[in-house]
């Protein structure tokens, strides 16, 4: 009994530093932001308590709802693209076992490059008048696109850029999952003489589902808070076609100085992300094997 | 073994074609950036885009004149390495405990910081660090960047600890070892690959993060990524300098990835399935 | 005894006072020169939050001179405009003394920052300790007025800038058109150019939502429109609608693809590459445009032509402000007066910083610099016109000016993108702006 207590104490002392640290670092910002969200900010930057005023304003704020729609549109589009291309790339790399390590790392390189850098890089490449992308397209006789400057195409374009950057990350995770699949199932399939396609869709992909769900959770956390790339490229434009919740909240705070309302927006967004993670986590547990 | 049965020639050819296309898509934008960094500044946005040009090192040479580039690089290294270390020191034992006890809430709590928009933290952290008179000190950056590295380490390490055979631990327990001793003497040596993988990923994410440094650093402690914004300004836009800086900033994570490519994949293998 | 002592003190004071007045009367300059001491704050440190800008890079070349002259250590932290503002807002919200000095665009954030109480009134500092020959009155009165809120001078102008049209003289010649004389002419000229040389963009200007009010405002004022009338938003007035229609129309019919995202750097890249015939952009961009000297021989510069409402160009500039929370405003003021002195501004002018001082713009060395290239001369002429006739009314004259810029930008962009008619766009903008005005 005493020994058990001692062990418990030791376990606590191993995990407590991390817990204390995390709570110390994120506890205050959360409490501060929630507290701020119950206040209005005056022009003189004084806080005035207004209860749930910010939240009731939020419900009637068209730009909030617009931001929510853009956020989820971008989320589903990017997620679908990244899961598809990530899994595809992983299967491709898995089949190419003899690929030298350095070439392999080139395939996963995009997510290692800072988002600031990729944002500015794509801004130059996708410029409708001067960029290389349209130059290549028109040289090949294909129609040019306005990319980030088109209200219809801006969200897909951002999704494409983000997919370029993060599909390799998904691929890395899926590749890990592939390598740990038990060989026995394949041997059985081989004996049955199943076709390659059948093996992929009936065996490999279903077995990969938990791995893909992990990738989904990790990407969801980032995609729902989409910020960096839009901050650098369009700042929510053209007009407000790429105005995600995070970008809108940022602008309300740091450009408009309404930190009370901005806090309410950020709290709401955090709750949305948390909710999504909890739901996805349940889903993952359901498909685990 | 299974793979061999599929490697009929037509299939290999198809595979190579797909790999080539994927490779071109993945690498071209980065290549364009690197190429641009060797162009005179005005030529970066020239039209039609130039593929053949007389390369210049001017952009790289001017970096150290226009910005204290080496100083910022030092700041970045210091902040990234320190925050990665903190992440490992705090995250690895926590992962061990989560794996041992199967109590997962600490792992979830550590993720909460990642669920909130980064801008949520800016103002409160500034207020907090100012209270402790730590604005403009490296500590404010190291401590906030550790908030990014800690959950990465915890989540990546978790499956590695899970992978240690239960029998090994039980044997140690019978010998009278407590959890701390088991962690230090047995578990850590067994998960060295995991520590390497976690360090690399933590390094990359910390190195690339700009938002906190934008507000919490000053001229003395500014990191490279935060400084990379300085190349655009009305009447002062320097595309060449930006591309050169971008190339140099991207280099350390890329080199690391090449070096540890093997571990990275095998490390995430475990992480993906059980994490 | 006591009385005696007091008396003698009194007498001395009276005499000193009388002499003082006399001396001031004879030569104000000399009396100040005698007591002004550049080394008064030697050993102190001031921190300066700067924005990436030609002024910053030019003045920082002389940083060592300042430190040598005053013994003050100057710590400079430079960010591009948006990131600088983000940092400043955080610092100020925490009422931190971390930043002593900062660059500010009073036309944009002046009222907002003044209302928040972030600026320190510079007048008392200027009256207390100013080096001889500083000449506050020599600074552009329009810019000084724009930097004055409720009688407090919140910033000293660093440069003078405003939107001007850069145009290609060779294309104009080839297409046999002359520079537009009125706003309506712009479309006519652009149409001819489009017909004669379809490979170039006939007219380009800002389309990015928060950035376009800078250029749009000139057009609105020249049309005879205004943002506010009788305390109400006035965009749906006939003049306002015409301005919206004209600006969006010019960009739609003659602008480059993707113009809706255009800010200064795309405009400059496009013009520099020889791909636009007219570019309505900040006068600040001249040095960027001339970077590879390709446009040196074929560029003309002019203000936006007049419209039915006359000619009311926008004239703004960056200013140097001292933070209300600075714990060392006196030393900070030493930097302000050094950096904005006639001598310094004359020096900076040679680096292409249009000086906000009469004396500096008529300086001989500057004149020689201007004479070196015809385009510089035209550029300075345009700026002289801006300085003489300009106002700084970019967007609504309210504390929430930055929000109002989004509203105006949204109105123009929705017309440009065809998602709203002029009537719908101006109505939405008026409603939103009225709500903002009511908040005030």
**Mean pLDDT on A94-114:** 83
In a domain, C53, yes or no: yes
Give the range among A185-189, C321-325, C395-399, C402-406 with minimum mean pLDDT.
A185-189
Q: Do C289 and C350 lie in a common domain?
A: no
Between C28 and C94, residue with greater pLDDT: C94
Q: What is the CATH number of the domain that holds C284?
A: 3.40.190.10
Q: Which residue of B has its CA nearest to A106?
A: B27
- Asked if C361 and C428 sit in the same domain, the reply is no
- pLDDT score of B7: 46
Task: Assess if residue C136 is contained within a domain.
Answer: yes
Q: Given pLDDT bands bounded at 50, 70 and 90, which one contains residue B228?
A: confident
What is the reported pLDDT for B237?
A: 74
Judged against a pLDDT cut of 80, whether residue C108 lies above it is answered with: yes
Q: How far apart are CA C258 and CA C262, in angstroms?
A: 7
Whether C80 and B230 lie within 8 Å, measured CB to CB: yes
C7 part of a folded domain: no
At B236, the pLDDT band (50, 70, 90 cuts) reads low
C333/C255 same-domain check: no
Sign (positive or negative) of CA dihedral C330, C331, C332, C338: positive
Q: Find the angle CA(B99)-CA(B102)-CA(B103) to the nearest 5 degrees.
A: 115
Above 90 in pLDDT, residue B133? no
Kind and range of the H or E element at A12? helix A2-36
- Max mean pLDDT range (A61-75, A209-223, B201-215): A61-75
Name residue C206's beta-bridge partners.
none
CB C307 within 8 A of CB C182: yes
Q: Compute how many other C-beta atoms are within 10 angstroms of the C-beta atom of residue B17.
A: 10
User: Which residue among B112, B208, B269 sits closest to A176, beta carbon to beta carbon?
Assistant: B269
Total of domains in chain C: 2
C325 or B161, which is more confident?
C325
Q: C228 in helix, strand or coil? A: strand
Domain check: are C143 and C222 in the same one? no
The proportion of chain A whose per-residue pLDDT surpasses 90, expressed as a percent, equals: 39
Domain boundary among C346, C375, C404: C375
Cβ–Cβ of C94/B123 closer than 8 Å?
yes
Contacts of C15 (CB under 8 A, 6+ apart): none
Closest to B206 in 3D by CA, of B271, B158, B141: B141
Contact partners, residue C154, CB within 8 Å, separation at least 6: C104, C106, C110, C113, C114, C119, C120, C121, C122, C147, C148, C319, C321
Q: Are residues C116 and C203 in the same domain?
A: no
Are residues C209 and A146, on separate chains, in Cβ contact within 8 Å?
A: no
pLDDT-based confidence at residue C381 (cuts at 50, 70, 90):
very high
Q: What angle separates helix A245-254 from helix C81-93, to the nearest 10 degrees?
A: 60
Same domain, C250 and C261: yes
Domain boundaries of chain A, sorted by first residue: 62-287
With respect to residue C2, please indicate whether it lies within any of the assigned structural domains: no
Q: What is the pLDDT of residues B39-74, one digit of tens each?
A: 887 788 777 777 778 888 888 888 877 778 899 999
* B113 phi and psi angles, rounded to 5 deg: -60, -30
Q: Please tell me the distance in Å from B216's CA to the nearest CA on chain A.
A: 14
| Nearest by CB: C93 against A45, A239, A251 | A45
Q: What pLDDT shows up at residue C427?
A: 96
Q: Which domain holds residue C83?
A: 36-160+316-375
Give the pLDDT confidence of C278-288 residue by residue, as tens digits: 999 999 899 88
Q: Which of A57, A155, A237 to mutate to test the interface with C (most CBs of C within 10 A)?
A: A237
Same domain, C234 and C285: yes
Average pLDDT over residues B77-101: 93
Same domain, C154 and C178: no
Contacts of C264 in chain B (CB under 8 A): 234-235, 237
What's the mean per-residue pLDDT of chain A? Answer: 88
C14 part of a folded domain: no
Of B215, B226, B231, Cβ closest to residue C90: B215
Written out in words, the top-level CATH class of the domain with range A62-287 is mainly alpha
Q: What's the average model confidence in pLDDT over A192-210?
A: 83
| Rounded-to-integer distance, Cα B26 and Cα A110, Å | 7
Q: Does C93 touch chain A (CB under 8 A)?
A: yes
**Predicted confidence (pLDDT) at residue C392 exceeds the cutoff of 70:** yes
pLDDT at A57 over 90: yes
Q: What pLDDT is attached to residue A202?
A: 83
The Cα C130–Cα B249 span in angstroms is 45
- pTM score, two decimals? 0.86
| pLDDT score recorded for residue A2 | 63
Mean pLDDT taken over chain C = 89
Q: Give A147-174 pLDDT, tens digit per residue.
A: 998 889 999 999 999 999 999 989 988 8
Residue B88 reports pLDDT greater than 90:
yes
| Angle, CA A117 vertex, CA A113 and CA A121 arms, to 5° | 115
Kindly state whether residues C251 and C267 are assigned to the same domain: yes
Contact across the interface for C89 and A257, Cβ inside 8 Å: yes
Biggest CA-to-CA distance, chain C: 98
Tell me, yes or no, if B46 comes closer than 8 A to chain C by beta carbon. yes
Domain boundary among C345, C375, C405: C375
Domain's final residue, options C349, C375, C401: C375
| Residue C103 vs residue B172, higher pLDDT | C103
- Is C275's CB within 8 Å of B230's CB? no
Q: Is the pLDDT of residue A197 over 60?
A: yes
* Nearest neighbour of B183 by CB, restricted to A14, A21, A115: A14
Average pLDDT over residues C170-181: 95
Provide the pLDDT confidence category of residue A97 given band limits of 50, 70 and 90: confident
Q: Does residue C381 lie in a domain region?
A: no
pLDDT at A189 over 80: no
């Amino acid at each position: 009994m005493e020994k058990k207590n001692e062990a418990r104490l030791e376990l606590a002392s191993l995990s407590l530093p991390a817990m204390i640290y995390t709570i110390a670092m994120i506890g205050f910002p959360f409490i501060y932001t929630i507290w701020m969200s119950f206040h209005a900010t005056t022009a003189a930057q004084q806080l005035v308590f207004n209860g749930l005023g910010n939240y009731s304003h939020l419900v009637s704020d068209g730009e909030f709802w617009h931001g929510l729609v853009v956020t989820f549109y971008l989320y589903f589009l990017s997620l679908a693209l990244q899961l598809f291309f990530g899994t595809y790339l992983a299967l491709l790399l898995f089949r190419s076992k003899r690929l030298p390590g350095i070439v392999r790392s080139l395939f996963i390189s995009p997510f290692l490059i800072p988002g600031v850098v990729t944002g500015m890089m794509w801004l130059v490449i996708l410029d409708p008048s001067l960029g290389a992308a349209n130059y290549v397209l028109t040289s090949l006789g294909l129609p040019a696109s306005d990319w980030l400057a088109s209200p219809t195409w801006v969200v897909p374009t951002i999704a494409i850029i983000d997919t370029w950057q993060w599909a390799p990350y998904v691929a890395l995770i899926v590749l890990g999952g592939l390598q740990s699949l038990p060989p026995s199932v394949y041997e059985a399939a081989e004996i049955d003489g199943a076709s390659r396609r059948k093996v992929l869709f009936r065996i490999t992909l279903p077995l990969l589902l938990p791995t893909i769900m992990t990738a989904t959770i990790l990407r969801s956390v980032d995609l729902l808070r989409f910020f960096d790339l839009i901050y650098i490229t369009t700042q929510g434009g053209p007009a407000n076609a790429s105005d995600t919740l995070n970008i809108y909240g940022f602008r309300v705070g740091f450009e408009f100085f309404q930190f009370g309302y901005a806090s309410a927006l950020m709290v709401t967004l955090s709750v949305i992300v948390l909710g999504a993670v909890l739901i996805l986590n349940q889903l993952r547990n359901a498909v685990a094997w | 073994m299974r793979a061999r049965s599929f490697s009929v020639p037509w299939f290999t050819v198809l595979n190579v074609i797909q790999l080539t296309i994927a490779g071109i898509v993945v690498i071209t934008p980065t290549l364009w950036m690197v190429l641009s960094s060797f162009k005179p500044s005005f030529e970066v946005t020239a039209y039609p885009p130039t593929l053949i040009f007389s390369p210049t090192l001017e952009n790289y040479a001017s970096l150290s004149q226009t910005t204290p580039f080496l100083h910022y690089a030092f700041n970045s290294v210091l902040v990234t390495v320190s925050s990665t270390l903190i992440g490992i020191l705090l995250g690895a034992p926590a992962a061990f405990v989560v794996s041992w006890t199967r109590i997962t809430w600490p792992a979830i709590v550590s993720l909460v910081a990642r669920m909130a928009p980064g801008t949520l933290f800016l103002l409160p952290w500034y207020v907090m660090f100012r209270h402790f008179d730590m604005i403009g000190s490296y500590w404010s950056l190291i401590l906030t960047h550790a908030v990014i590295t800690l959950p990465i380490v915890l989540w990546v390490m978790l499956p590695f600890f899970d992978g240690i055979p239960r029998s090994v631990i039980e044997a140690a327990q019978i010998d009278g070892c407590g959890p701390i001793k088991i962690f230090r003497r047995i578990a850590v040596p067994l998960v060295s690959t995991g520590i390497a993988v976690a360090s690399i990923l933590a390094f990359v994410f910390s190195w690339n993060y700009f938002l906190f440094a934008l507000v919490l650093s000053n001229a003395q402690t500014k990191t490279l990524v935060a400084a990379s914004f300085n190349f655009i300004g009305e009447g002062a836009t320097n595309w060449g300098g930006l591309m050169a800086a971008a190339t140099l900033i991207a280099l350390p994570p890329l080199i690391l990835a090449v070096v540890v490519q093997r571990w990275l994949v095998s490390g995430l293998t475990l992480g993906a399935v059980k994490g | 005894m006591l009385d005696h002592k007091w008396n003698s003190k009194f007498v001395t004071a009276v005499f000193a006072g009388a002499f003082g007045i006399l001396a001031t009367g004879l030569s104000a300059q000399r009396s100040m020169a005698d007591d002004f001491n550049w080394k008064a704050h030697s050993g102190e440190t001031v921190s300066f939050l700067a924005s990436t800008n030609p002024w910053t890079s030019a003045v920082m070349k002389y940083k060592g001179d300042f430190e040598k002259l005053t013994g003050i250590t100057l710590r400079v932290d430079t960010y591009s405009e948006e990131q600088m503002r983000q940092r400043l807002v955080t610092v100020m919200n925490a009422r931190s003394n971390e930043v002593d000095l900062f660059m500010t665009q009073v036309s944009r954030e002046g009222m907002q920052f003044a209302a928040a109480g972030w600026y320190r009134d510079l007048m008392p500092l200027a009256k207390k300790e100013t080096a001889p020959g500083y000449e506050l009155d020599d600074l552009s009165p329009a810019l000084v007025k724009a930097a004055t809120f409720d009688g407090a001078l919140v910033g000293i102008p660093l440069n003078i800038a405003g939107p001007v049209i850069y145009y290609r003289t060779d294309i104009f010649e080839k297409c046999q058109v002359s520079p537009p004389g009125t706003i309506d002419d712009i479309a006519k000229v652009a149409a001819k150019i489009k017909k004669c040389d379809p490979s170039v963009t006939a007219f380009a200007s800002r389309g990015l939502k928060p950035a376009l009010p800078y250029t749009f405002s000139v057009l609105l004022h020249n049309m005879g429109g205004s943002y506010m009338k009788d305390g109400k938003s006035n965009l749906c007035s006939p003049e306002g609608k015409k301005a919206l229609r004209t600006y969006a129309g010019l960009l739609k019919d003659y602008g480059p693809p993707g113009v809706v995202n255009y800010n200064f750097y795309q405009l400059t890249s496009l013009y520099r590459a020889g791909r636009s015939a007219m570019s309505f952009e900040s006068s600040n961009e001249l040095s960027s445009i001339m970077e590879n000297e390709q446009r040196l021989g074929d560029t003309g510069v002019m203000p936006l032509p007049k419209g039915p409402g006359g000619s009311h160009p926008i004239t703004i500039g960056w200013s140097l402000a001292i933070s209300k929370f600075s714990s060392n405003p006196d030393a900070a003021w030493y930097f302000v007066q050094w950096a904005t002195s006639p001598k310094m501004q004359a020096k900076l002018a040679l680096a292409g910083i249009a000086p906000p001082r009469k004396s500096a713009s008529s300086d001989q060395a500057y004149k020689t610099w201007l004479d070196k290239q015809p385009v510089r001369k035209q550029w300075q002429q345009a700026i002289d016109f801006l300085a003489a006739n300009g106002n700084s009314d970019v967007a609504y004259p309210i504390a929430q000016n930055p929000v109002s810029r989004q509203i105006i930008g949204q109105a123009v962009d929705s017309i440009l993108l065809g998602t709203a008619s002029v009537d719908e766009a101006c109505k939405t903008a008026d409603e939103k702006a009225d709500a903002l005005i009511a908040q005030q």
